[in-house]
Amino acid sequence: MVTSAYVPGAAQALLRRVYGYAAFRGPQEAIIQHVTAGGDAFVLMPTGGGKSLCYQLPAMLRPGVGIVVSPLIALMQDQVTALKALGVRAAMLNSALTGAQRRAVKAQLRTGELDLLYMAPERLMLEDTLEMLADCPLALFAIDEAHCVSQWGHDFRPEYLQLSALHERFPGIPRMALTATADAPTRREIVERLHLQDARIFVSSFDRPNIRYRIVLKDSPRQQLHRFITAEHPGDAGIVYCLSRKKTEEIAGWLLEQGLVALPYHAGLDARTRERHQERFLREDGVIMVATIAFGMGIDKPDVRFVAHLDLPKSIEAYYQETGRAGRDGLPADAWMAYGLADVAIHRQMIAGSEADDLHKRLEHRKLTVLLGLCETAGCRRQVLLQYFGDELPAPCGNCDTCLTPVETWDGTLAARKALYVVRQTRQLFGVGHLTDVLRGHDTEKVRKFRHQHLSAFGNGLELSEREWASVFRQLVAAGLLSVDMEHHGSLKLTAESVQVLQNTRMVSLRKDPLPARSTPARKKAARAEAAARLGNDPASNELFELLRAARRELAALHKVPPYVIFHDKTLLEMAELRPLSREQLRGISGVGERKLEEYGDAFLAVIEQYVRE
């Protein structure tokens, strides 16, 4: 077994020299120390928390090459491009390479010229690959996106199950499993399936304090999305998630008509189009990707300033992972979602119509119910989100919509009883619109057709408006007190739990929905000012920041890399605020390592010098 003593000074020196960071974050140093000394590890760390460093540094500190298992070619390309820009000896083996390129990488591997080699699980587990690695000194195996091993998870990859054989084939090589998304059952499954029972477990907080969570009720969702982007994120890169391929095309086209730069992305597009759209998203500033969940896992873009959902995700895990693609650089970002009753009905129907067994369906229903609880909570959204992952937040976060604008609650027991009663009286055959007409006593053609004006429920709900009754019905569905039958035009059905409310043995607390915000010039101006304040820029610093971004775009085009590979926005903001005028001063900026100082330092110093002089 190859072991290596951990030398704190060596790790710290690499961190400063290669990455340009002065100190480790959270448990990074403890993980690096443990793995460098030869130990196995299971690392659970939020997106943007610095997981990659936890295996990249040990791979450089230990003898041999670190093998990184990654599920997507795009993710490998992103990581390898960034590492090469730092001067790290990194490569990948995948189907995107030509035969000559693959032979060149294998030659580098045999001659010990690599610190890190990325490949997909299916390639790694080929017999000829395993035989090739058996003849090479290996530093470690890092299994990234390890939640893909979970058969109950949202990103299950059967190929990941084969990785359990690594501990038998290479017993002396430390193994790491890393993920940003795993509840307690998924963690246990990862440990069991990858035979990491003896591994040291490192669980960081799931909290992403820089992300502001906001969930709004659907009310002309296209207009709501447009107001959100133009008021708070003009010119910013973002992702908009939709449930269907058709909807991604429609929303991307509509945003283009509104003057925004938007591209669709889904599995139905040909590979070349998907690649071209992804390339533009990575390399250009201010591009909005409108996508299905087919897009995202392979994206390491740090300056995504917002993630918006126009449809409900299927679980808390999916929501957390998708929103986690915002603000990877640690700067303020938004997770915005529009949600309505139809979303719930669609997901319930999808679960019911799936080929999964009954146990799996029950699990999916439970996960959806938990997500609905997040949508309907009157308390801190972050506390609800973190609690799902077993991570307690002792006090409300102050950076979600329910904290910033507290939601009122009311005793909705009587209203709930009336709602359930009218469902029962109309024989569970009608949807929200007709049921509301009955409760409000509206003399409609449909009411007369079914003679519902003669029901005792008719006109028994005048105390609430149509909008308020819609809210009551939505919250009852979310709470499992009603279900939606999509096969019968969205009719509402009673559930086993409805009886408790009808018999007055269960109290029901409901939230008061806020009135939808309307866009005005003053509101837009205030939102933009607030967004700028969150980034901490004074006008002069912001002006210099934009000049530095322009210089970065030119360098990125020259070197054929995404702009963030040159420097992250966070690094440019620090340059704009501190205005270094020498290489020595620039070296003190976070994110400026020796290779980047040598390669790009003079270009950015020239911009700063000219700005200060003028």
User: Please, what are the domains in the chain?
Assistant: 8-203 (3.40.50.300), 211-404 (3.40.50.300), 409-511 (1.10.10.10), 536-613 (1.10.150.80)
- Angle between helix 413-425 and helix 466-478 axes, rounded to 10 deg: 90
pLDDT digits (tens, 9 = 90+) for 482-510: 988 866 777 999 999 999 999 999 999 99
Q: What is the mean pLDDT of residues 320-330?
A: 93
Residue 165 in this model has a pLDDT that exceeds 90? yes
Three-state DSSP class for 10? Answer: helix
For 285, other C-beta atoms within 10 Å of its C-beta total 17
pLDDT digits (tens, 9 = 90+) for 287-315: 999 999 878 766 779 999 999 999 999 99
| Integer Cα distance of 49 and 191 in angstroms | 21
| Integer Cα distance of 151 and 49 in angstroms | 25
Q: What is the mean pLDDT of residues 441-468?
A: 96
Sheet of 333-339: strands edge to edge?
211-217, 333-339, 304-309, 237-241, 288-291, 262-265
| Integer Cα distance of 431 and 367 in angstroms | 25
Residue 536 in this model has a pLDDT that exceeds 70? no
> For strand 175-179 and strand 200-203, is the pairing parallel, antiparallel, or unpaired?
unpaired
| Integer Cα distance of 134 and 558 in angstroms | 40
- pLDDT recorded at residue 523: 56
- pLDDT recorded at residue 128: 95
Three-state DSSP class for 217? Answer: strand
How many distinct helices (H) and strands (E) make up the chain? 28, 17
Mean pLDDT computed over every residue of the chain: 92
| Integer Cα distance of 280 and 296 in angstroms | 14
DSSP assignment of 166-189: HHHHSTTS-EEEEES---HHHHHH
Residue 375 in this model has a pLDDT that exceeds 60? yes
Residue 534 in this model has a pLDDT that exceeds 80? no
- pLDDT recorded at residue 151: 72
Within 8 A by CB and 6+ apart from 276, the residues are none
pLDDT digits (tens, 9 = 90+) for 267-292: 999 989 998 999 999 999 999 999 99
Per-residue confidence band for 528, with pLDDT thresholds at 50, 70 and 90: low
> For strand 237-241 and strand 211-217, is the pairing parallel, antiparallel, or unpaired?
unpaired
Residue 20 in this model has a pLDDT that exceeds 90? yes
Return the higher-pLDDT residue of 360 and 100: 100
- pLDDT recorded at residue 598: 96
pLDDT digits (tens, 9 = 90+) for 177-234: 999 888 888 899 999 999 999 999 999 989 999 999 999 999 999 999 999 999 999 9
- Please, where are the H alpha helices in 67-161? 73-85, 99-110, 121-124, 127-134
For 286, other C-beta atoms within 10 Å of its C-beta total 14
Two structure tokens written together for 503: 């018999």
pLDDT digits (tens, 9 = 90+) for 576-610: 999 999 999 999 999 999 999 999 999 999 999 99
Residue 242 in this model has a pLDDT that exceeds 70? yes
- Angle between helix 432-440 and helix 413-425 axes, rounded to 10 deg: 110
- pLDDT recorded at residue 614: 86
- pLDDT recorded at residue 472: 96
| Integer Cα distance of 20 and 567 in angstroms | 11
Return the higher-pLDDT residue of 523 and 398: 398
| Integer Cα distance of 495 and 66 in angstroms | 54
| Integer Cα distance of 339 and 516 in angstroms | 13
173: left (phi over 0), alpha (psi -120 to 50) or beta: beta
Query: Which residues are 31's β-sheet partners?
Result: none
Residues 36, 39, 42, 47: what is their CA dihedral angle, to the nearest 10 degrees? 0
DSSP 96: T
- pLDDT recorded at residue 83: 96
Distance (Å) of CA 280 to CA 245, 265, 306: 20, 12, 17
> For strand 409-411 and strand 333-339, is the pairing parallel, antiparallel, or unpaired?
unpaired
- pLDDT recorded at residue 532: 60
**Phi and psi dihedrals of 588, rounded to 5?**
-80, -5
Lowest mean pLDDT among 9-23, 40-54, 146-160, 422-436: 146-160
Q: What is the mean pLDDT of residues 137-153?
A: 89
| Integer Cα distance of 293 and 199 in angstroms | 32
Three-state DSSP class for 326? Answer: coil
**Phi and psi dihedrals of 4, rounded to 5?**
-150, 130
Two structure tokens written together for 177: 């499993």
Distance (Å) of CA 594 to CA 545, 564, 598: 22, 17, 6
Q: What is the mean pLDDT of residues 538-556?
A: 90
- pLDDT recorded at residue 345: 85
Within 8 A by CB and 6+ apart from 458, the residues are 438, 439, 441, 447, 452
Residue 530 in this model has a pLDDT that exceeds 80? no
Q: In percent, how much of the chain has pLDDT > 90?
A: 78
- pLDDT recorded at residue 2: 47
